[in-house]
């Protein structure tokens, strides 16, 4: 047995694989044919890895049986009809205690996961998780339902009222399927099965005149471009099996030509030699007039590690008008709707500054409010000024980015309530972590918000990989400049020289845990098999259903190297004693161009919702002219003049902090900046002398010089300036040859 499978079985043995309240309904007759009145833990031990077994089931139907997918993994087996559309839904909440989690799985019995959902983790006692649903087409005659949970108590750690509905109605066919493209087999032109490029554009056998071979502009990978009709519903299918040897894997991708992934499926990994994987199908509605198909594989041999008989079928009847679907439900307007005139804007992690909180290292009870961090001015000021110029009453929400997302969401609720009248609706925009705060406000507040529309920009809704080294080991890998500056200043000053950065972050910056990925991102450095994360688990989630009550959209950046995986090795004895790297010590980095340099496309998007992808970096999504235009477009505000922005991608910065004091800094060109809440920042500064004129407000003034250099190096130095006498100082800054002690 391969190591990969052994790891998976260990995971299964440490959680509870359960069968839950499930009803199956035939939509044509609305007949209940199977039900389970309630879930039960026969053992009475919620966290024992065997929450209940076949003896607990109340099996009242003839089309379902109790089965075992793997040792100790009970499942419900259903007979289904190949090609029929089904909907799985859970209509009531999961409720649990702090640390409890739950997952649902629907599979075809051949290893293919229909993608029902990932783990939902309960952050606090008494938490609850809203309903969800999944539409899919049966690719085989067997369907298996499993549920996994991990709970300290068995009382409420289960879902209820799950339904499986057959959506197909053969008596009233709505479409006339038409095959518009097929490919007999995928091949590897290079002859190297393990090169991660299963085929390139020279290998394609395209049947029909509506497809061409090209390079995907977003991924740089060879792809097939197929002409489709926007708004039509299509079926992508692979009719015969993938065959491979142990360790081989294969992935299919369908995109809209603008970076949006229709979510064809995850990697399927071959556990043993001679394994095979059955057919799969994806139903989707075309967002544009083109579909790009790409396939990737990693194989020890190039002979059989490819799929066969691929087809794209138009399910929309040519004589029946098809309306272009929108993920935003059509709302019936009130007779006298209040116009939306206010927009609330939440910046990302590190984009806010409060001197008392961050220099005096106070977790709360600090004085004054939060302001736009001076080093974030070039990124956020252009869009804030543009929104105001175009008539929006703009309300920036600056917040303590150290706190948990839900804590800041509560503060956002108070901020919006204070700045609006009864019944008033507002637009909400969040960048990066600000998007998580905004989403939490809308979705985890029982839907009772003032939000009319929400745009989440570059928001790591499924986490960011670089949060792992910070949370698990105290290492700052941030390629995102704002986060790098904020975390470095905080750890250097509040952590101290001899502190453990991991302990400081876990104790004082709990929001980093909210950013841990909820997808697989750790792999064994030797085998490249997935590593199951057991210690460093994301503790934030949201209820998707509440987003569907408003105008919701994501704006996503792509085309830039973005951390996607971390190969890890076992931690050493010292690491274990210090509780560092408990899920694996980094041994490298893996990048993908499907991201904005900070957040992956797949993490920023929500399947089935309105997602738009543009070629911009994480900061460029809000700071660039293109990003600002997309924001105005979302708000329904036409641009009446040419937009302009001072934005330039940051690669270096000079940060000066004087506390408590008032000071001015003049650069080599004679430009002077006065401090804002004790800070002056120069982004992308030039080498030269920076003159400081400082008036102390104490007989012991802290002065910090932090140099962030283009090569990634950081020079940090703290000074104590004594007495109340005014100080004239010079900071010598050199991009190529930085000085360790730059203040004279």
CA nearest to 311, candidates 288, 276, 283: 283
Q: Which of 253-257, 392-396, 399-403 comes out lowest in average pLDDT?
A: 253-257
Enclosing H/E stretch for 505: helix 501-508
Neighbouring C-beta atoms of residue 366, cutoff 10 Å: 17
What digits encode the pLDDT tens for the residues 178-214? 777 776 666 554 444 444 444 443 344 444 456 777 7
Q: Tell whether pTM > 0.75.
A: no
Neighbouring C-beta atoms of residue 203, cutoff 10 Å: 17
Q: What is the rounded CA–CA span in Å between residue 579 and residue 573?
A: 10
Q: What does the pLDDT average to over 615-632?
A: 94
Q: What does the pLDDT average to over 506-515?
A: 97
Q: Which of 187-201, 607-621, 636-650, 669-683 comes out lowest in average pLDDT?
A: 187-201
CA nearest to 538, candidates 559, 560, 510, 564: 510
Q: What is the rounded CA–CA span in Å between residue 315 and residue 83?
A: 12
Neighbouring residues of 709: CB distance < 8 A, sequence distance ≥ 6: 652, 715, 735, 738
Give, in order, the Cα–Cα distances in Å from 642 to each of 354, 382, 384, 626, 629: 34, 13, 16, 11, 10
- Of 231-245, 346-360, 642-656, highest mean pLDDT: 346-360
Report the pLDDT value the prediction gives residue 30, as an integer from 0 to 100.
32
Q: Are 293 and 226 in contact (CB under 8 A)?
A: yes
Tell whether the model's pLDDT for residue 282 goes beyond 90: no
What digits encode the pLDDT tens for the residues 3-21? 322 232 222 223 333 333 3
Q: Which of 174-178, 216-220, 327-331, 658-662 comes out lowest in average pLDDT?
A: 327-331
Give, in order, the Cα–Cα distances in Å from 602 to each of 93, 255, 260, 466, 552: 26, 12, 9, 15, 17
Give, in order, the Cα–Cα distances in Å from 326 to each of 231, 285, 340, 635: 9, 10, 21, 16
Q: Which of 111-125, 633-647, 688-702 comes out lowest in average pLDDT?
A: 111-125
Q: Which of 254-268, 407-421, 515-529 comes out lowest in average pLDDT?
A: 254-268
Report the pLDDT value the prediction gives residue 461, as an integer from 0 to 100.
95
Position 543 confidence tier, pLDDT thresholds 50, 70, 90: confident
- Helices 433-443, 405-418: axis angle to 10 degrees equals 70
DSSP code, position 115: -
What digits encode the pLDDT tens for the residues 310-343? 788 887 644 433 333 333 343 444 444 457 999 9
Where does residue 694 fall: left (phi above 0), alpha (psi -120 to 50 degrees), or beta otherwise?
Answer: beta
Where does residue 259 fall: left (phi above 0), alpha (psi -120 to 50 degrees), or beta otherwise?
Answer: left
- Name the CA dihedral angle for 444, 449, 455, 456, rounded to a multiple of 10 degrees: -20
Q: What does the pLDDT average to over 285-294?
A: 77
CA nearest to 252, candidates 178, 181, 307, 311: 307
Give, in order, the Cα–Cα distances in Å from 578 to each of 496, 500, 537, 565: 17, 9, 18, 24
Residue 588 or residue 151, greater confidence: 588
Q: What does the pLDDT average to over 654-659?
A: 98
Q: What is the rounded CA–CA span in Å between residue 666 and residue 528?
A: 52
Residue 547 or residue 378, greater confidence: 378
Tell whether the model's pLDDT for residue 70 goes beyond 50: no
Q: What is the rounded CA–CA span in Å between residue 348 and residue 92?
A: 33
Position 216 confidence tier, pLDDT thresholds 50, 70, 90: low
Q: Which CATH architecture has domain 178-314?
A: Sandwich (2.60)
Report the pLDDT value the prediction gives residue 310, as an integer from 0 to 100.
77
Report the pLDDT value the prediction gives residue 236, as an integer from 0 to 100.
79
Tell whether the model's pLDDT for residue 22 goes beyond 70: no
Q: What is the rounded CA–CA span in Å between residue 444 and residue 461?
A: 14
Alpha helices in 55-144 (DSSP H): none
Residue 278 or residue 335, greater confidence: 278
Report the pLDDT value the prediction gives residue 259, as an integer from 0 to 100.
58
Alpha helices in 342-404 (DSSP H): 355-359, 377-389
166 in helix, strand or coil?
strand
Report the pLDDT value the prediction gives residue 322, as an integer from 0 to 100.
33
Residue spans per domain, the chain: 3-166, 178-314, 342-634, 653-733
Report the percent of the chain where pLDDT is more than 70. 63
Report the pLDDT value the prediction gives residue 295, as an integer from 0 to 100.
72
- Of 198-202, 277-281, 606-610, highest mean pLDDT: 606-610
Alpha helices in 304-376 (DSSP H): 355-359
Is the peptide bond between 660 and the residue preceding it cis, with omega within 30 degrees of 0?
A: yes
CA nearest to 121, candidates 513, 577, 592, 638: 513
22 in helix, strand or coil?
strand
Q: Tell me the pLDDT of the chain averaged across its residues.
A: 76
Alpha helices in 369-428 (DSSP H): 377-389, 405-418
Q: What is the rounded CA–CA span in Å between residue 117 and residue 63?
A: 24
Q: What is the rounded CA–CA span in Å between residue 200 and residue 338?
A: 54
Report the pLDDT value the prediction gives residue 240, as an integer from 0 to 100.
54
Enclosing H/E stretch for 486: helix 481-490
Report the pLDDT value the prediction gives residue 648, as an integer from 0 to 100.
84
What digits encode the pLDDT tens for the residues 118-158? 345 555 555 655 555 666 777 667 777 766 665 554 445 55
- Of 101-115, 293-307, 345-359, highest mean pLDDT: 345-359
Report the pLDDT value the prediction gives residue 27, as an integer from 0 to 100.
34
Neighbouring C-beta atoms of residue 278, cutoff 10 Å: 17
- R_g over Cα of the chain: 28
Q: Which of 28-37, 122-131, 658-667 comes out lowest in average pLDDT?
A: 28-37
Q: Which of 189-198, 230-239, 451-460, 573-582 comes out lowest in average pLDDT?
A: 189-198
Q: What is the rounded CA–CA span in Å between residue 51 and residue 158?
A: 10
Report the pLDDT value the prediction gives residue 180, as an integer from 0 to 100.
72
Q: What is the rounded CA–CA span in Å between residue 408 and residue 445?
A: 12
Report the pLDDT value the prediction gives residue 701, as an integer from 0 to 100.
97
Report the pLDDT value the prediction gives residue 60, as an integer from 0 to 100.
33
Q: What does the pLDDT average to over 589-605?
A: 94
Report the percent of the chain where pLDDT is more than 90. 46
Residue 238 or residue 199, greater confidence: 238
Position 242 confidence tier, pLDDT thresholds 50, 70, 90: low
Q: Which CATH number fits domain 342-634: 3.40.50.720, 3.40.50.1820, 3.40.50.360, 3.40.50.300?
A: 3.40.50.1820
Position 606 confidence tier, pLDDT thresholds 50, 70, 90: confident
Report the pLDDT value the prediction gives residue 304, as an integer from 0 to 100.
54
CA nearest to 482, candidates 622, 588, 365: 622
Tell whether the model's pLDDT for residue 276 goes beyond 70: no
Q: What is the rounded CA–CA span in Å between residue 136 and residue 131?
A: 17
Report the pLDDT value the prediction gives residue 54, as an integer from 0 to 100.
33
């Amino acid at each position: 047995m391969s190591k990969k499978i052994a790891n998976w079985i260990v995971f299964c043995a440490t959680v509870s694989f359960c069968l839950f309240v499930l009803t199956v309904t035939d939509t044509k007759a609305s007949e209940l044919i199977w039900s389970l009145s309630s879930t039960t833990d026969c053992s009475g031990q919620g966290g024992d890895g065997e929450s209940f077994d076949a003896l607990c089931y109340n099996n009242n139907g003839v089309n379902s049986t109790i089965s075992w997918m793997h040792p100790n993994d009970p499942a419900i087996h259903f007979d289904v009809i190949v090609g029929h559309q089904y909907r799985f839904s859970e209509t009531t909440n999961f409720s649990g205690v702090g640390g409890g989690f739950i997952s649902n799985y629907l599979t075809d019995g051949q290893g293919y996961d229909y993608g029902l959902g990932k783990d939902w983790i309960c952050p606090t006692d008494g938490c609850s998780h809203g309903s969800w649903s999944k539409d899919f087409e049966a690719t085989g005659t067997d369907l298996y339902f499993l549920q996994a949970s991990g709970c300290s108590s068995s009382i409420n750690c289960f879902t209820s009222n799950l339904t499986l509905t057959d959506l197909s109605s053969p008596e009233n066919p709505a479409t006339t399927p038409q095959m518009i493209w097929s490919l007999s087999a995928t091949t590897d032109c290079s002859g190297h099965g393990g090169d991660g490029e299963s085929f390139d554009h020279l290998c394609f056998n395209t049947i029909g005149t509506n497809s061409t071979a090209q390079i995907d502009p977003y991924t740089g990978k060879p792809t097939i471009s197929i002409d489709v009709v926007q708004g039509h519903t299509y079926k992508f299918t692979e009719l015969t099996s993938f065959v491979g040897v142990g360790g081989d894997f294969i992935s299919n991708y369908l995109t809209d030509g603008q970076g949006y992934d229709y979510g064809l499926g995850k990697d399927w990994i071959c556990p043993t030699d001679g394994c095979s994987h059955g057919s799969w199908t994806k139903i989707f509605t075309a967002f544009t007039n083109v579909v790009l198909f790409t396939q990737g594989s990693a194989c020890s041999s190039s002979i059989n590690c490819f799929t066969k008989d691929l087809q794209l079928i138009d399910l929309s009847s040519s004589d029946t008008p098809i309306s272009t679907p929108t993920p935003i439900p059509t709302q019936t307007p009130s007779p006298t709707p209040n116009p939306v005139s206010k927009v609330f804007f939440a910046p990302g992690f590190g984009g806010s500054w409060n001197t008392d909180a961050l220099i005096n290292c106070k977790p709360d009870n600090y004085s004054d409010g939060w302001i736009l961090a001076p080093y974030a001015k070039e990124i956020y000021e252009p869009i804030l000024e543009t929104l105001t110029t175009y008539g929006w009453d703009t309300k920036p929400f600056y917040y303590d980015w150290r706190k948990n997302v839900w804590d800041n969401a509560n503060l956002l609720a108070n901020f919006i309530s204070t700045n609006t009248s009864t019944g008033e609706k507002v637009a909400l925009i969040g960048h990066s972590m600000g998007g998580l705060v905004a989403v939490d406000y809308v979705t985890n507040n029982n839907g009772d918000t003032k939000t009319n529309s929400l745009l989440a920009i570059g928001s790591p809704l499924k986490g960011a990989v670089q949060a792992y080294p910070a949370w698990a080991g105290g290492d700052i890998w941030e390629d995102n400049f704002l986060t790098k500056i904020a975390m470095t200043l905080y750890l250097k000053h509040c952590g101290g020289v001899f502190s453990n950065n991991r302990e400081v972050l876990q104790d004082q910056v709990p929001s980093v845990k909210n950013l841990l990925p909820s997808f697989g991102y750790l792999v064994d450095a030797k085998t490249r098999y997935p590593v199951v994360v057991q210690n460093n688990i994301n503790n934030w989630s949201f209820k998707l259903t509440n987003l569907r009550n408003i105008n919701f959209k994501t704006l996503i950046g792509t085309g830039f190297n973005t951390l996607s995986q971390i190969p890890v090795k076992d931690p050493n004895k010292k690491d274990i004693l210090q509780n560092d790297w408990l899920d694996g010590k980094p041994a490298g980095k893996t990048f993908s161009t499907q991201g904005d340099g900070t957040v992956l496309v797949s993490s920023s998007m929500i399947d089935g919702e309105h997602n738009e992808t543009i070629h911009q970096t994480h900061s460029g999504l809000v700071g660039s002219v293109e990003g600002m235009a997309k924001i105005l477009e979302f708000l329904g505000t036409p641009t009446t003049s040419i937009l302009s922005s001072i934005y330039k991608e940051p690669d270096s910065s000079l940060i000066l902090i004087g506390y408590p004091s008032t000071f001015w800094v003049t650069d080599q060109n004679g430009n002077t900046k006065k401090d804002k809440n004790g800070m002056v920042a120069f982004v992308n500064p030039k080498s030269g002398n920076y003159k400081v004129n400082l008036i102390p407000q104490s007989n012991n003034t802290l002065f910090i010089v932090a140099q962030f250099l283009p090569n990634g190096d950081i020079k940090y130095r703290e000074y104590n300036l004594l007495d109340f006498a005014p100080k004239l100082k010079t900071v010598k800054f050199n991009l190529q040859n930085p000085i360790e002690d730059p203040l004279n």
